[in-house]
Structure 1
Amino acid sequence: MLTNLTAQQVNAKEANKCCQCAYNSGYQQGSLLQKFISLDLDSLGESGANNDGHYKSLHQAFALGYSDGVNSIIKN
């Protein structure tokens, strides 16, 4: 699912950050139905991904994860 995200990084600080980590952070916050969400770039690991998540939008990955997390609660 991360392969469909936009290949974009806003700045050099984000270039090597883990897109899957951003998704996981969003998913966790969404599954807890947190009202105040935050993408902490400094807490994300370094990317080890090749084509599936490298240089993909961390913000899109986070938003997708949040949405999936919320949906997992709603479906259950």
Structure 2
Amino acid sequence: MSRDGVLLLGGTGFIGSALAERLKRENIAAHIVGRNDGDLLETAIPGCGTVIHLASATTRVLQQGIQTSSAATLP
């Protein structure tokens, strides 16, 4: 099986959707996984040689009033 594809986690979010469009324009095979697409992972992973992880829980984090930075870890 070829592993030339890209697995894009968070592909329906603000940044992920822009990247998904770019991958499409560049004719790069991509499996786009959004918030409710977790069941697609099992079939998408074997064909992907690259994983881009843009998924986050920003809504929950912002609602709780927790400030984060790139160096912070959530409890």
TM-score range, shorter chain: under 0.3
Q: Which has the larger radius of gyration?
A: 2
In terms of fraction of residues, the more helix-rich structure is 1
In terms of fraction of residues, the more strand-rich structure is 2
* Structure number with higher relative contact order (C-alpha < 8 Å, ≥ 6 residues apart): 1
